[in-house]
Chains A and B, each alone.
Chain A
Amino acid sequence: MADKVIISNRAALIAKYGSAGLRKINGALRRLVAADKARHLTTRVVFLDDTKAMARLGAPAVTTASSQRQNKAAIDGVFAKLTPDYLMILGSVDVIPHIDLANPVFDPDDPEVDVDEMVESDLPYACDAPLSTKIEDFIAPSRVVGRLPDVTGDDDPQYLLTLLAHAAKPVTTPSTAVSAFGVTAQLWRRSTSKSVRALFGAGTKSRSSPRLGPDWADDELAHRFHFINCHGEKRTPRFFGEVDDGREEHTDPPDYPVAHDASRIAKRIQAGTVAAAECCYGAELYDPRRQGQLPIGQTYLECGSVAYFGSTTIAYGPATTNNYADIICRLFLEGVLAGRSTGDAALTARLEYAKVAKPIDAFDLKTLAQFILLGDPSLHPVRKPKPRRSKMVAKRVGIAAAKSATVAAPSFDASAGGRQARRTRSREDAALIETTAAVACERVSGGSDVATAVAARAADAGIANPSILSFATRVGTRNAPMAATTPVPAARAVRAARRAPTGDVRVHIAIGRMNRAGTRRLKQPVAIVAQERGGQVIRVETIYGKAEAANSRRPSRQATRRG
């Protein structure tokens, strides 16, 4: 048993840094384990390619570092034996790979609409379900997982040593000192404003690009929470804004200015910062040697950020309201602000997201898979005030009575008891999702009268050359290991069963390039989504930027304001 397990691959680390580099990393790991012990965590380091150690754990060893199948099986074996409260992946994708999951939004006939054939993800490592390429098999995570990455392709261990040192001495923020720095593409400022105000208070403003950025002042970067809602590009250490000037189409480079730039924030982010970036590729762990600059997320971590939550691939979200990337980032930050560990906040965000999406559509699936946590998952960035005895109470009733009158701030997983409660709750949530979630995931040929009608409606709505993606909806996941092993309290199960939709619905999505002529940009339809049962249309929506309609059918997804 261990409270926290750090997993890595010894051979892969030696291949990058040599034996001398590995010795330094082991030294840094020993210091982190000692620091964890002082935090009342028993931490164990496991190299997945250590055949003897893995045999003792009854888990298969990794013989090929790049094998996703081997890594998933090895981690599942380690988890089954040690049942840790936290699992920290140590290293980038050339040490422990992401798992490639099929992107349900990818259309081979129109690949430039969403260029990602696969979604690179750590989500499967958080799930008991066996390896698969289908995201829908991993919608019910129950493990707390984060990744402390080194630099892909690097041969100097210094970056990783720095991150391990930060993890051993993390900087935390008193809950009374929480403040936020928000950056947004001007076009999405309404959506971002909703997010930051809900999270950090009504007076919180975000900076719009254009015309602000990327030369942020020190006092702007000094805020401990960063919320970024901008464009992102593959293998690029910069995020971009977009002008909102009423023009139908933007074609010029100045319309998409640099909003946030790794080279301009290096060494300037405060230790203890927590960042959530909705941007496409915001957490992509690419080899940065050709750019000569670390990716933005890894720049945050180098400065001592305790967590960076971002996407490996193209992400989605509307311009004026909240959905998809907005929602999962808000849920993550809500958890951290409430006092959860970063890993617990990521797990809770995924579970809450999956619980309230009805049905879980193709964009939801991609969102669930693509957002990953970079950082040590056992750290609690926000320090709640210690319970204090009232002097007045103490004077009147004595110390003993005053002690019983104190009210402890919520600790979530900061104690062994809290972690056990978290484990029980997350397994119950996962079991309920496995058995009751409706997922529009199984691609079927359109072919029906309804699909034809949807295509015609899309064309009428101005969606150029619409592609029709049709999905059968099913209830529950194909594999349900959590449901098989986790008893769910009867009352919760009954409530969930009542809310569960039926699985005989087909969902048809018409997407395509926008024909912008003659309409206002923000009212441009981007998709037609129709639900069909038995050949009859039971619901049809025109989605304008995936906004109002999506939110109106899932009001419980609106993240609540921080108390």
Chain B
Amino acid sequence: MAKPKLQTLVGRVVRRHVGGRSKYAHPGVVLETDAGTFVLRREGATNFVDPALVALAGKSVRVRGETDGHVLFVTSWEEA
């Protein structure tokens, strides 16, 4: 298992369907960065669709968190 990495990423938040047609399929919130695309998630969030992250859609943000594959577990963020 690849070790999760703590890092800060800057990019644009986009609402987008994630998970194809899998049992993960849902309207997600994605951070598009120069380093790649990451599905945003708050660890411990109780909702599958997280309103706090949905509110970031359309904004350019600086996000601190832990990447686990192509999921970024967000610990904090600010508008860039």
Interface of A with B (CB < 8 Å)? 93, 97-98, 100, 111-118, 120, 229-236, 238, 240, 242, 249-253, 255-256, 258, 278-281, 290-292, 314-317, 325, 511, 513-514, 524, 526-527, 545-546
Determine whether B80 belongs to the interface, using a CB cutoff of 8 Å to chain A: no
Specify which of A93, A238, A256, A316 is in contact with B26 (CB 8 Å cutoff). Answer: A256
A118 to B68, CA, bound (A): 11
Please indicate the chain B residues that have their CB under 8 angstroms from the CB of A253 in the complex.
Answer: 47-51
Specify which of A238, A249, A278 is in contact with B27 (CB 8 Å cutoff). Answer: A249
Q: Which residue of A lies closest to B47 (CB)?
A: A253
Please indicate the chain A residues that have their CB under 8 angstroms from the CB of B45 in the complex.
Answer: 236
A292 to B43, CA, bound (A): 11
Specify which of B23, B44, B51 is in contact with A290 (CB 8 Å cutoff). Answer: B44
Specify which of A113, A118, A325 is in contact with B23 (CB 8 Å cutoff). Answer: A325
Q: Which of B15-41 contact A (CB under 8 A)?
A: 15-28, 30, 36-37, 39, 41
Please indicate the chain B residues that have their CB under 8 angstroms from the CB of A111 in the complex.
Answer: 36-37, 70
Are the CB atoms of A314 and B21 closer together than 8 Å? no
Asked, given contacts A112-B28, A240-B48, A291-B44, whether A232 binds B1 with beta carbons under 8 Å apart, the answer is no
Are the CB atoms of A116 and B20 closer together than 8 Å? no
- Shortest beta-carbon distance, A337 to chain B, in Å? 23
Are the CB atoms of A251 and B27 closer together than 8 Å? yes
| Chain A at the B interface: SS class | loop
A258 to B45, CA, bound (A): 11
A-B contacts, 12 listed (Cβ < 8 Å) = A100-B2, A113-B18, A116-B69, A117-B70, A230-B23, A253-B51, A292-B44, A315-B24, A511-B20, A526-B20, A526-B21, A527-B21
- Shortest beta-carbon distance, A151 to chain B, in Å? 16
Are the CB atoms of B49 and A252 closer together than 8 Å? yes
Please indicate the chain A residues that have their CB under 8 angstroms from the CB of B19 in the complex.
Answer: 112-115, 280, 314
A93 to B3, CA, bound (A): 12
Q: Which residue of B lies closest to A110 (CB)?
A: B37
- Shortest beta-carbon distance, B45 to chain A, in Å? 8
Are the CB atoms of A120 and B71 closer together than 8 Å? no
Are the CB atoms of B27 and A280 closer together than 8 Å? no
B42-77 CB contact bits vs A (8 Å, 1 = yes)? Answer: 011111111100000000000000001111010000
Q: Which residue of A lies closest to B36 (CB)?
A: A111
Contacts beyond the supplied A232-B24, A236-B45: 14 A-B pairs with Cβ under 8 Å: A111-B36, A112-B37, A113-B19, A115-B39, A117-B70, A120-B1, A229-B23, A231-B24, A234-B71, A240-B48, A253-B50, A281-B24, A314-B22, A314-B23
Are the CB atoms of B22 and A315 closer together than 8 Å? yes
Q: Which residue of B lies closest to A103 (CB)?
A: B69
- Shortest beta-carbon distance, A160 to chain B, in Å? 20
- The A/B interface has a contact count, at CB < 8 Å, of 118
Q: Which residue of A lies closest to B18 (CB)?
A: A112
Please indicate the chain A residues that have their CB under 8 angstroms from the CB of B20 in the complex.
Answer: 113-114, 511, 513, 526
Specify which of B16, B22, B27, B39 is in contact with A250 (CB 8 Å cutoff). Answer: B27
Are the CB atoms of B21 and A514 closer together than 8 Å? yes
Please indicate the chain A residues that have their CB under 8 angstroms from the CB of B50 in the complex.
Answer: 253
Please indicate the chain A residues that have their CB under 8 angstroms from the CB of B37 in the complex.
Answer: 111-112
Please indicate the chain A residues that have their CB under 8 angstroms from the CB of B48 in the complex.
Answer: 231, 233, 240, 253, 256
Are the CB atoms of A234 and B44 closer together than 8 Å? no
Asked, given contacts A234-B41, A250-B27, whether A114 binds B21 with beta carbons under 8 Å apart, the answer is no
A258 to B48, CA, bound (A): 8
Are the CB atoms of A316 and B22 closer together than 8 Å? yes
Interface centre among B17, B26, B48, B68, by most chain A C-beta atoms within 10 angstroms, is B48
Closest 8 CB pairs of A and B: A256-B48, A526-B21, A115-B70, A240-B48, A111-B70, A280-B24, A113-B20, A112-B18
Please indicate the chain B residues that have their CB under 8 angstroms from the CB of A236 in the complex.
Answer: 45
Are the CB atoms of B46 and A258 closer together than 8 Å? yes
Please indicate the chain A residues that have their CB under 8 angstroms from the CB of B26 in the complex.
Answer: 231, 240, 242, 250, 256
A234 to B66, CA, bound (A): 13
- Shortest beta-carbon distance, B22 to chain A, in Å? 5
Asked, given contacts A114-B22, A315-B23, whether A235 binds B17 with beta carbons under 8 Å apart, the answer is no
Asked, given contacts A115-B39, A290-B43, whether A314 binds B2 with beta carbons under 8 Å apart, the answer is no
A238 to B19, CA, bound (A): 17
A100 to B19, CA, bound (A): 20
Are the CB atoms of A256 and B43 closer together than 8 Å? no
- Shortest beta-carbon distance, B1 to chain A, in Å? 5
A101 to B39, CA, bound (A): 21
Are the CB atoms of B47 and A256 closer together than 8 Å? yes
Please indicate the chain A residues that have their CB under 8 angstroms from the CB of B2 in the complex.
Answer: 100, 117-118
Please indicate the chain A residues that have their CB under 8 angstroms from the CB of B18 in the complex.
Answer: 112-113, 115
- Shortest beta-carbon distance, A468 to chain B, in Å? 14
Please indicate the chain B residues that have their CB under 8 angstroms from the CB of A238 in the complex.
Answer: 46
Are the CB atoms of B69 and A93 closer together than 8 Å? no
A89 to B68, CA, bound (A): 25
Please indicate the chain A residues that have their CB under 8 angstroms from the CB of B73 in the complex.
Answer: 235
Please indicate the chain B residues that have their CB under 8 angstroms from the CB of A120 in the complex.
Answer: 1
Specify which of B23, B28, B36, B39 is in contact with A316 (CB 8 Å cutoff). Answer: B23
Are the CB atoms of A545 and B39 closer together than 8 Å? no
Specify which of A100, A252, A291 is in contact with B1 (CB 8 Å cutoff). Answer: A100
Q: Which residue of B lies closest to A233 (CB)?
A: B48
Please indicate the chain B residues that have their CB under 8 angstroms from the CB of A117 in the complex.
Answer: 2, 69-70
A232 to B30, CA, bound (A): 18
Q: Which residue of B lies closest to A241 (CB)?
A: B48
